[in-house]
Amino acid sequence: MKNVKLEFAQRLREAMQAMGYEPKPSVLEREFNQRYWGKGVTLHGVRRWLLGETLPSQDKLLVLAEWLQVTPQQLRFGTDPSQQVEERHDRWERELSYGERETLDAFLRLPAPQRKVVREVILTFAQVYDRRADDEPSPPEPPAT
């Protein structure tokens, strides 16, 4: 499972560098507090953002995004969430067979407690499959010619 806080921290550091700032807590604290209208953040607080330990509140995220000239969605999520939905929909249209769509329709007709059980079973199978895929050795490289 991906760590959203660490991914946010990476995007924050990259956005700072893209704007010509060093991704250091002292720089972030100074620049953020010059722009924020509320109570300023501490050096320790911004350090935790940069290390992926915490996420800023929405009002602080808006200030960061405006300063770093990115959208709040890009900074928080990496991409525009509506774009992610469209990509998922396109993928489902391409990859799901009729039988799989029929199965999903049946799933959607189940009551919530049964959906939860089915979801847990599927996620368990997926975790086992992912672990096995990670354990398999990579195919050998073709010989150089």
How far apart CA 41 and CA 59 sit, in angstroms, is 12
pLDDT in tens, 61-70: 999 999 999 9
pLDDT in tens, 117-136: 998 999 899 888 888 776 66
Q: Three-state DSSP class for 45?
A: helix
- Residue 83 binned pLDDT confidence (cut-offs 50, 70, 90): low
What is the amino acid identity at position 76? R
Instruction: Note the pTM of the prediction, 2 decimals.
Output: 0.56
CATH placement of domain 4-77:
1.10.260
